[in-house]
Amino acid sequence: MSRLEVRKTYKLYIGGKFPRSESGRSYPVTGARGQFLANAALASRKDARDAVVAARAAFPGWSGATAYNRGQVLYRVAEMMEGRRAQFVDEVQAAEGGPRRVAAAEVDAAVDRWVWYAGWTDKLAQVAGAANPVAGPFFNFSLPEPTGVVAVVAPQRSSLLGLVSVLAPVVATGNTAVVLASQARPLPAVTLTEVLATSDVPGGVVNLLTGAVEEVAPWLASHGDVNAIDLAGAGLAGVDLERAAAVNLKRVRRPADPDLDWTADPGTGRLLSFVETKTVWHPVGI
């Protein structure tokens, strides 16, 4: 007797927990060949607000941790991603199509990129900071500090490598994140949250919403307690979202090219996008 496949309905990830959307809505996720994969929660404005509250609550602890400790925590995430490599490959291949070797290469690149950003946590201050020459008996230091709560509209096509490329630099620099996953390809993002939930990353540091960009992103862009937003996957809606972000003078990163090559060397651009520079004076000899 053949058995029926267990069809999954995935939930959101907010504050270290997996709640249903407060609206109770979901939508079907299909693969590159049109096959049914699962149901995903259709996030609402209330879910977005709850995610921002969770991210704000987690910010003092995460930003206050030592850079070395953040690096250790994020490296552990990469270890766990490696342990679930086969699942990630299955989900990326189902979502994006193409041969399995291409999906495997994307997963490997995503894990490697997470490791790369984890290694930057305790090195960014040496690159972005400075000991400034001053006229007088003072030390003058400029140091990078996290911006705060960062909303991320994840890339729509690159379901894992693109997601890691925009999320990892946000949390590596001490920010907390509210991520709106790819609408059509959310399953690798959901699996990543399952990794985060069982890792050492504190609840609320990363919060994941699934659903429609046009429904959820405007509330994140205009939210007064969101300090910055990355519009990597916003597409044509990016212009309107950038206007909405002006409400509280958010930092905004909006790519000129919506079809970025996520396999290219990322450089330090995103690491420096969501940090502030704090300058401190201190008398010599005290």
Domains of the chain in start order, with CATH, are 26-283 (3.40.605.10)
CB burial readout 128-156, b (16+ within 10 A) else e: bbeeeeeeeeeeeeeebbbbbbbbbbbbb
Q: Give the residue with greater pLDDT, 136 vs 9.
A: 9
pLDDT greater than 80 at residue 1: no
Residue 256 or 227, more confident: 227
Give pLDDT, residue 139: 87
Span 129-160, pLDDT tens digits: 888 888 888 888 888 999 999 999 999 999 99
**Per-residue pLDDT tens digits for 163-183:** 999 999 999 999 999 999 999
200-255 residue pLDDT tens: 999 999 999 999 999 999 999 999 999 999 999 998 899 999 999 999 999 999 98
Give me the phi and psi of 267, to 5 degrees please. Answer: 65, -160
Residue 286 has pLDDT above 80, yes or no: no
3-state secondary structure the chain: CCCCCCCCECCCEECCECCCCCCCCEEEEECCCCCEEEEEECCCHHHHHHHHHHHHHHHHHHHHCCHHHHHHHHHHHHHHHHHCHHHHHHHHHHHHCCCHHHHHHHHHHHHHHHHHHHHHCCCHHHHHCEECCCCCCEEEEEEEEECCEEEEECCCCCCCHHHHHHHHHHHHCCCEEEEECCCCCCHHHHHHHHHHHCCCCCCCCEEEECCCHHHHHHHHHHCCCCCEEECCCCHHHHHHHHHHHHHHCCEEECCCCCCCCCCCCCCCHHHHHCEEEEEEEEECCC
- pLDDT of 285 above 90: no
pLDDT tens per residue, range 13-72: 999 999 999 999 999 999 999 999 999 999 999 999 999 999 999 999 999 999 999 999
- Written as six digits, the tokens of 141 are 């230091």
Q: 279: how many CB neighbours lie within 10 A of its CB?
A: 11
Percentage with pLDDT > 90 across the chain: 83
Q: Sign (positive/negative) of CA torsion 75, 77, 80, 85?
A: negative
Please answer whether residues 124 and 74 qualify as being in contact, where contact means their C-beta atoms are separated by less than 8 angstroms: no
